[in-house]
Amino acid sequence: MSRLLSMLQTPVGHAEASWALLLRRGIYTSPVAQKNIRAGQIKSSINANLPLTYEQAQKPHKIGVTKAWNSWNTSNLTGETKDSAATTLEDLFIRQFMKGTWHNYLASEVIIKRRLNVVIVSFIAERQLNARNFYFLVGYTEEMLSTILKRPIKVELQTVRRKRDMTFKLI
Amino acid sequence: MASADQISHESMVNQSLRFKMARSSVSCKYSEFSMVVIPGHNHTGDSVERRRRPELPVIPPREKSMPIDQDWTTVWPTASTFKWSAVPLPIRQGRVFVCFKNFSESNIFNYFHSQKAEQDGIPPGKYGNLELMKIPNFLHLTPNHIKKHCAALKEFCTEWPEGLETDEKCKKHFPVEVISSDYIVDSISLRDPRARTVCIKINLSSLDLDSHAKDKFIRLVGDRYNADTGELTLELDRCPMKKQNHDYGIYLLSALFKESWKTEGWESEKTVDDMEMYVWSMNESKKNTQQITEVMKKAAENPSCKVPEYVLKSENVLETEPVQEYAAAVEDLHNVGEDLHSLEKYKEQVKKMLLAQ
């Protein structure tokens, strides 16, 4: 731009030559791409030893391409706007509840699937507890969530030996 | 300056010694006094072992103990999230992007030697694979499952009614078609405002209407009638419930039918000039045809004259097939317009009506 201005401000004797130069060069414009390419992407560590799960390794724009959604319900479908806000809010609540109830045992994100009025909560837990305690937590989660949300909740969990079994990539 | 440095150094050493003494007091069992520990100089005895949580006993995955000829429907009876331990298939899911730029062998083998990392270039297996848990699976809908479903449903099935074998027969006996949609959602409420809409379809040919009633019916329904297919479509969505809309639709249909059969007093005043289209029976053409047929009847008394057979056979000549077809051809010529097809048809019908075969 400054170059352009300087060309315009040339003395009278050189004006003709400057305009010729301007015409020959032309002006190139392009729209500004204001896209956020850093959200949801984990920075790599110095030693490249930060373990990531498959879910974390896939960047947000890959949802629906290399990784699937974490919430499966009909209000996510195209054109279905009914109750989508309420469903999203409920999902948020369930995730917070799981984070608190299964504190430190969650080895993955919580997947919430809905079928009619049933909410299916599935996730992967680390095998830190014995089976009895796991069964207690499952029952507790189901009972509490169905009391709060007033509909049947199913917990379908799987366990891994340790969290690092979930590692997909080191960055 | 130098003395100040010295003091600060001494105080640091004292501090660290005191700290070490306090820590080692636990491990020194034989002495009444705690031992002075100089880091790197004397042996401090057994270091405190880090407690390791014992491995919890785990039942081996179910897939390992599955016989080859097992009944899969008992393993996976209903829809469920994918369970790697119960599915005896070598499944992998995940996209692997092999990038050799950040490849560091030592890192992987130091920390995660038992884990397949992305750098190995292999899609993640089924163990601890969240992607497999996300996607809907059809492990509960194998052919054997479907067979079981069918067997269970069979006792609730009834015979298909006789006489309704084809779509044509169904349409003949049940001419009214009612279309409505149910919306199944997984949200809090089962109600959906779109479910109230009802569409009722009927072909006018299946209604018992004469030409006057049909004409009136079509005028009453307006653009809900499709002239090409002869179908009437009623879209009903003004009531809040589906049942109400359906009932209103059926009421509307019967009201239309009854109304179209009514003939008002002023309708008899309609003349040829008021007609919207050419009607053969109201025009000169009918009179002319009648005259011609009468002439032909008289001429038939003369044996040398040949007249068409239909003139002699029936008493009411205008109701016979050749005359009616001629009438249709004339109406077509006036109402649809002149083209090669209608002219050809007119010619044929005139020949059939006037000439002896």
Tell me what pLDDT residue B52 has. Answer: 67
In a domain, A41, yes or no: no
The per-residue pLDDT for B37 is 76
| Same domain flag for A78 and A15 | no
Are β-strands A111-115 and A71-72 bridged in parallel, bridged antiparallel, or unpaired? parallel
Q: Could you tell me if A138 and A65 lie in one domain?
A: yes
Same structural domain, A58 and A15: no
Task: Please give the residue of chain B at the shortest CA–CA distance from A125.
Answer: B128
pLDDT of residue B98: 60
C-beta atoms of A158 and B135 within 8 A: no
Phi, psi for B118 (deg, rounded to 5): -60, -30
Using 70 as the pLDDT threshold, list the residues of chain B that sit under it: 1-31, 42-53, 98-120
Question: Is A60 part of any domain?
Answer: yes
> Nearest Cβ partner of A170 from B80, B83, B107?
B107
Q: Which residue of A has its CA nearest to B110?
A: A49
Q: Which H helix or E strand runs over B146?
A: helix B143-153
Phi then psi dihedrals of residue B147, to 5 deg: -60, -40
CB contact (8 A) between residue A120 and residue B83? no
What is the Cα Rg of chain A in Å? 27
* A99 within some domain: yes
B58 contacts on A by Cβ (under 8 Å) = 127, 161
From the CB of residue B83, how many other CB atoms can be counted at a distance below 10 Å?
21
- Find, among B310, B116, B109, B58, the residue nearest to A131 by Cα: B58
The token pair at B141 is 């809908």
Answer yes or no: do A20 and A64 share one domain: no
Q: How far are the Cα atoms of A31, B57, B58, B112, B311 from residue B54, in angstroms, in the given order?
A: 61, 9, 12, 20, 113
Q: Within this chain, do residues A19 and A57 fall inside the same structural domain, yes or no?
A: no
Residues A66 and A122 in one domain: yes
Residue span of the structural domain in which A24 resides: 1-30
- A146 belongs to a structural domain: yes
Q: B77 CB contacts (<8 Å, ≥6 apart)? A: B140
User: What are the residue ranges in chain A where pLDDT is below 70?
Assistant: 1-25
- Residue B68 identity: I
Contact partners, residue B236, CB within 8 Å, separation at least 6: B197, B198, B199, B200, B245, B246, B248, B249, B252
For strands A118-126 and A111-115, give the pairing: antiparallel
Would you call B117 and A74 a contact, using CB atoms and an 8 Å cutoff? Answer: no
Number of domains in chain A: 2
pLDDT of amino acid A17: 56
Query: What pLDDT does residue B135 have?
Result: 92
The ranges assigned to domains in chain B are 167-264, 278-354
Would the CB atoms of A171 and B102 count as touching at under 8 Å? Answer: yes
CB contact under 8 A, A74 and B186: yes
Q: The domain spanning residue A123 has which CATH number? A: 3.30.300.20
In tens, the pLDDT along B25-34 reads 444 455 577 7
Per-residue pLDDT, B115? 42
Q: Using an 8 Å CB-CB cutoff, list chain B residues near A55.
A: 130
Is A127's CB within 8 Å of B56's CB? yes
From the list B127, B130, B188, which residue is nearest A109 (CB)? B130
A157: exposed, middle or buried (Cβ count in 10 Å: 0-12, 13-18, 19+): buried
Classify the phi-psi angles of B32: left when phi > 0, otherwise alpha if psi is within -120 to 50, otherwise beta.
Answer: alpha
Q: Which CATH number fits domain B167-264: 3.50.50.60, 3.30.160.20, 1.10.10.10, 3.30.1780.10?
A: 3.30.160.20
The shortest CB-CB distance from B80 to any of A70, A156, A169 is to A156
Residues A26 and A56 in one domain: no
Taking 3-state DSSP, the helix, strand and coil percentages for chain B, each rounded to the nearest 5, stand at 50, 5, 45
Question: If you measure CA to CA, which chain B residue comes closest to A84?
Answer: B187
Write the single-letter amino acid at B308.
P
Residues of A in contact with B132 (CB under 8 A): none
